Every structure is written in structure tokens, then in C-alpha cells.
Chains A and B, each alone.
Chain A
Amino acid sequence: GAGVSQSPRYKVAKRGQDVALRCDPISGHVSLFWYQQALGQGPEFLTYFQNEAQLDKSGLPSDRFFAERPEGSVSTLKIQRTQQEDSAVYLCASSLRRLAGDGDTQYFGPGTRLTVL
């Protein structure tokens, strides 16, 4: 079946612009995650949804970052007034499970590479 898809794959923004990144999780997956991966680093957690509820946003670096999943499927990560330090790959992952536990596998999309000039 289809995996996690993300769009756009590449985004170039001028400093100060707003951007919106889209994630389509695997069909039927309850949980959805956003991670940020800087060059040469591992992914870092941003936020987590269970269906439409945002249960954890502890990783969002500032109030310029906002995520939503209004119907419990597609999710959008929005970054307002982009800064150069926002340049990174933004990864979306989804999981079939509701709860942490054995077998809680997160499946990742290909990511959106954001470059802020």
C-alpha cells in the first residue's frame, strides 16, 4: 500500500515568508508525528497527534510553528515569518497504534526540505 507522502518535497522561502508543509499519513493510521532534521543530525521531535487531537507539542521551537490535523488524517505544519535557522528537512511519520508499547512503529515520509534565504 501507499506509504506516508509529503508535499512539497522542496521549498525555498525568503526570510519572513510563511510556509505550509503537508503530510498524508498511511490510511487508517491514528497517530501522526512531525520531526525536524537539521543537516548531519538525527530527527528531532516537534509534535504529535492522535486523530485530530494534538497531544504533545513540546518540541515546537517557537510560537511561529503551528500544526493541525483537523479531520484526523492529513496534517499541515505551518511556519510563520520563517528564519534562516528554520532551514531543515521536516519529516512526517504515522503509526497505527494509539498508545506507546511493543510494536509501536513509526513509518516516515520522504520529508520536505525547507531552505530559507
Chain B
Amino acid sequence: QKEVEQDPGPLSVPEGAIVSLNCTYSNSAFQYFMWYRQYSRKGPELLMYTYSSGNKEDGRFTAQVDKSSKYISLFIRDSQPSDSATYLCAMSARGTGRRALTFGSGTRLQVQP
């Protein structure tokens, strides 16, 4: 079983919809949680970065972390066709000296105009 599980989709929504993307994880040492966006044939681009539990909002994007449930979410409001991409959750542990990010497999999102 993978340390980070993510529904691969694809997820297809109409323009303007609210999108909810989720990951679950098993390693309780994870403290830092990230969402990356990856367009086809491009490298991942950081969207949101949160530490421990709680919410963080940036424009149309809101990231939520629930460490008690080992569950993280990314919400996209007023989705646009330009949001069509693969969304990757990633996480890392604190204080272990290990810098590696552990990624989910990615959810492919298609926003229909």
C-alpha cells in the first residue's frame, strides 16, 4: 500500500464549478503538505503549502489539512478551463533530515468551457 493515496480521476467539471481534490496518507510523521499543478509535458508547479493541520486560502484555492484523519484537500472555486491539469499532493516529514517529497499519483482535472 502506498504512503499517499490519491484518486487518479479523470475529473470533469463545467466552468465555474467548485472542485474538490483529496489525498489520504498513512505516515503520521508527515508535517508539511503541498499541492502541485502539472500541465502536460511540464514540471510540477507549487500551488499551496501548509504546515500541520488547518486551512490556507490563496485566491480561488483553499487547502485543508486534517492530521487526525490523515486527509488533505484542495478546493478550487470558480474553476476555469485554464485549471485543466493534473493535481499532485505531496508531503514531507519534519526534523528527520529527510528532504524527499512523497507524492500522490495525481488527479487529472478537466474543466469544460
A56 within 8 A of B: yes
A103 to B102, CA, bound (A): 16
The chain B residue with its CB closest to the CB of A48 is B99
A57 to B99, CA, bound (A): 11
User: Hey, what's the 0/1 contact readout for B19-34 against A, CB within 8 Å counting as 1?
Assistant: 0000000000000100
- The interface residues of chain A lying within 8 Å CB-to-CB of B90 are 42
B59 within 8 A of A: no
Q: Which of A4, A42, A101, A105 interacts with B94 by CB under 8 Å?
A: A101
B113 within 8 A of A: no
B44, B88, B94, B103 — which one has the most chain A CB atoms within 10 A of its CB? B44
Query: Is B93 in contact with A40, judged by CB distance below 8 angstroms?
Result: no
* Partner-binding segment picked from A11-19, A74-82, A108-116: A108-116
Query: Is A42 in contact with B95, judged by CB distance below 8 angstroms?
Result: no
Report if A42-B103 is in contact (Cβ < 8 Å); known contacts: A100-B95, A102-B32, A105-B49: yes
A106 within 8 A of B: yes
Distance to closest chain A CB from B82 (angstroms): 18
The chain B residue with its CB closest to the CB of A49 is B99
Query: Is B99 in contact with A33, judged by CB distance below 8 angstroms?
Result: yes
Interface residue count for A (Cβ, 8 Å)?
Answer: 32
A80 to B93, CA, bound (A): 32
Query: Is A43 in contact with B44, judged by CB distance below 8 angstroms?
Result: yes
A35, A43, A48, A109 — which one has the most chain B CB atoms within 10 A of its CB? A43
- The interface residues of chain B lying within 8 Å CB-to-CB of A66 are none
Distance to closest chain A CB from B88 (angstroms): 5
Q: Which of A40, A45, A56, A58 interacts with B8 by CB under 8 Å?
A: A40
Report if A106-B96 is in contact (Cβ < 8 Å); known contacts: A4-B43, A91-B43, A111-B43: no
Name A's B-contacting residues (CB within 8 A).
4, 31, 33, 35, 40-45, 48, 55-56, 58-59, 91, 93, 95, 99-111, 113
Name 6 A/B residue pairs within 8 A (Cβ), A-sorted: A42-B104, A91-B44, A100-B96, A108-B36, A110-B43, A111-B42
Q: A55-B99, A56-B99, A100-B93 are in contact. List 9 more A-B contacts (CB 8 A).
A: A42-B106, A43-B44, A43-B103, A95-B99, A100-B32, A102-B51, A104-B99, A111-B43, A113-B41
